[in-house]
């Protein structure tokens, strides 16, 4: 299982990224919010670009925005491995996928807590990653929703049935207890569990195990 570390909500982003950079965490999760798709707004692209100077880790970018197509050109200039958008973002998903392919960036599609798993089935063979939101988009520190577990099982079953290589990621409220039930996930996004701990590497290792 791979770990993608989120710094959403931390006070000192630069110091946090420096600490994460000396761990074996797989990705840095970039939560991008425009204040339209979500109530909260995060940093601007120029600010994100500046803070990525503090890490050489590959980025796992999560666009919680309206019309993400307009933003891809900017974020493609960063060290991005995955870029994820939401089904109901308002952009033409085929155009989003094509643009990401042109940049050589892996394509992710997010499923919100109230979305039915079946809504993502038509896209499974077109994307590299399904990001299952285990909290509602927008705020750090939320409690993991138990309705996530059956979604993961259903997704895994469908991916296996169709013999696809699409990965499953889980984002929100993941901790050292509930991760034991997340064996159907390939990647987990963890924020405060890691960033509020005294030893980042120790926590990352514990999450992997």
Domain ranges of the chain: 2-208
For residues 22 and 135, what is the distance between their CA atoms, to the nearest angstrom?
Answer: 28
| pLDDT above 80: residue 84 | yes
How many percent of the chain have pLDDT more than 90? Answer: 89
Distances (CA, A) of 155 to 5, 19, 119, 124, 195: 23, 34, 11, 9, 29
What pLDDT does 184 receive? 96
Closest CA to 67 of 41, 93, 29: 93
For residues 188 and 190, what is the distance between their CA atoms, to the nearest angstrom?
Answer: 6
All residues at 6 or more sequence positions from 112 whose CB lies less than 8 Å from its CB, including other chains: 86, 88, 133, 136, 137
At 142, the pLDDT band (50, 70, 90 cuts) reads: confident
What pLDDT does 141 receive? 67
- Residue tagged active-site, from 31, 60, 128, 184: 31
Q: Is 146 a catalytic residue?
A: no
For residues 140 and 149, what is the distance between their CA atoms, to the nearest angstrom?
Answer: 20
Model pTM above 0.75:
yes
Q: Is 24 a catalytic residue?
A: no
The mean pLDDT value for 187-204 works out to 96
At 90, the pLDDT band (50, 70, 90 cuts) reads: confident
Kindly report the average pLDDT of the chain as a whole number. 95
| pLDDT above 70: residue 103 | yes
At 4-61, the pLDDT tens digits run 999 988 999 999 999 999 999 999 999 999 999 998 898 899 999 999 999 999 999 9
What pLDDT does 209 receive? 80
At 26, list the tokens: 């797989």
The mean pLDDT value for 86-107 works out to 95
- Residue tagged active-site, from 60, 128, 171, 184: 171
Looking at domain 2-208, does it have CATH number 3.20.20.70? yes
What pLDDT does 112 receive? 95
Half-sphere exposure of 35 (CA within 13 A, CB side): 4
For residues 167 and 141, what is the distance between their CA atoms, to the nearest angstrom?
Answer: 24
> What SS3 class is residue 4?
strand
What pLDDT does 91 receive? 84
Cα R_g (the chain), whole angstroms: 16
């Amino acid at each position: 299982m791979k770990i993608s570390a989120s710094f959403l909500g931390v006070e000192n982003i630069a110091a946090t990224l420096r600490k994460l950079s000396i761990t074996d965490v797989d990705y840095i999760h970039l939560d991008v919010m425009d204040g339209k798709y979500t109530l909260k707004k995060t940093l601007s692209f120029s600010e994100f670009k500046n803070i990525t100077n503090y890490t050489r880790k590959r980025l796992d970018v999560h666009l919680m925005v309206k019309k993400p197509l307009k933003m891809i050109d900017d974020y493609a200039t960063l060290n991005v491995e995955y870029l994820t958008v939401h089904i109901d973002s308002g952009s033409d998903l085929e155009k989003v996928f094509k643009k990401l392919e042109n940049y050589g960036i892996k394509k992710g599609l997010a499923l919100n807590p109230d979305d039915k798993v079946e809504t993502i089935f038509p896209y499974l063979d077109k994307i590299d990653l399904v990001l299952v939101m285990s909290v509602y988009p927008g705020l750090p520190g939320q409690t993991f929703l138990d309705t996530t577990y059956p979604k993961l099982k259903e997704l895994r079953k469908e991916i296996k049935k169709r013999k696809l290589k699409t990965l499953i990621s889980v984002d929100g409220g993941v901790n050292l207890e509930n991760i034991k039930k997340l064996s159907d996930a390939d990647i987990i996004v963890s924020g405060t569990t890691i960033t509020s701990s005294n030893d980042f590497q120790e926590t990352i290792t514990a999450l992997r195990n």
